[in-house]
Chain A
């Protein structure tokens, strides 16, 4: 089949569309998902201790 200038143009355009849509998809996967609210963690990563009544009653050593 003869490759005319018009056919070549169509193939070129189709290829460009395919490449760009691929780039768009990859970029979409790479772009960060934005959040304002975070989800509650299933567990605390540090050590858990019981509430100490005497400590609670005392003024904090920290400012504020």
Chain B
């Protein structure tokens, strides 16, 4: 019997013995099977700033996992060797959800990240893991493109503490041509997550000639400010030629600086530059009095003067989870 997977907006119709576009949701005898449940192909202890999250438990380590597979097929994917791999061609470790809190603690991590590929496709594994992790008193973090249908997204967000959601562009054209996806569900995912109390940060990878026009950057920032909030931290990330986009150059540092200026002019309060070493690009400053709150070099924290989430100079509340 043919099945239809209604997890993400692709709503794949899957014939027996075949998988959806994500490669890991398979029709076996008319049932939809999660082929990678409990079998991540990556497990690492990363600095939380690498996700990137700059306003969520800064300076801590995060136990990070991913299975193979993704519902998007971004031509610039920097993780394509894991995201675009079939499970039968992959190596994986047996890590059932109940084992994750124990491992996280063993490696001194206060949180677990579902990352590298997209947790929305290894949904059942991520959801069950989130429940176990939260029961153990640890935090859950999603790093996602947010391309998921409303109902499953809501069910997952109930157990998620923080999410870095990619806003890959602000036009349908970009999402269709570069990511093989659509924009609206991603925007909906942002709004829903924020409304459900998830700490949200946004990432926008700037690709030369494709999404780096000033007008596009301004529109993206305006959308974020009006729909997710001016306090939402935004990370402009540098593109490096990868996968099916090796013909384009890396994003020039000036473009990233320009994006930061535009975002600030639009009114976003916390703007960062990532994937590149830049003077002050990853520092956190108070939006009211410009006091340097967290000084960073790459993913390393040099100084942090807001352990309680308030600016020590003007006492302004700084958006985030600090303890």
Contacts and interface: CB of A to CB of B under 8 A. Distances in A.
Contacts of B82: 62
Contacts of B5: 35-36, 38
Nearest to B299: A59
Given A32-B2, A56-B44, A49 B107 contact: no
B87 interface: yes
B175 interface: no
Contacts of B78: 62-63
Contacts of A56: 43-45, 103, 107
A35 B314 CA distance: 52
A38 to B, nearest CB: 4
Contact of B143 (A31, A34, A37, A64): A64
A36 B13 CA distance: 12
B34 A50 contact: no
Interface string B40-51: 001111110011
A41 B25 CA distance: 10
A50 B92 contact: no
A34 to B, nearest CB: 5
Contacts of B44: 55-56, 58-60
Contact of A41 (B4, B34, B93, B94): B34
A36 B127 CA distance: 13
A57 B87 CA distance: 24
Nearest to A49: B91
A5 interface: no
Q: How large is the interface on B (under 10, 10 to 19, 20 to 34, 35 or more residues)?
A: 35 or more
A4 B68 CA distance: 69
Interface string A30-58: 11111111111100111111110001111
Contacts of A6: none
A38 B32 contact: yes
Contacts of A55: 43-44
A29 interface: yes
Contacts of B7: 36-38
A33 B124 contact: no
B50 A46 contact: no
19 contacts: A29-B1, A32-B3, A33-B4, A33-B30, A34-B6, A36-B151, A38-B25, A38-B33, A38-B123, A41-B33, A41-B34, A41-B37, A47-B91, A48-B92, A51-B93, A55-B44, A63-B79, A63-B116, A64-B51
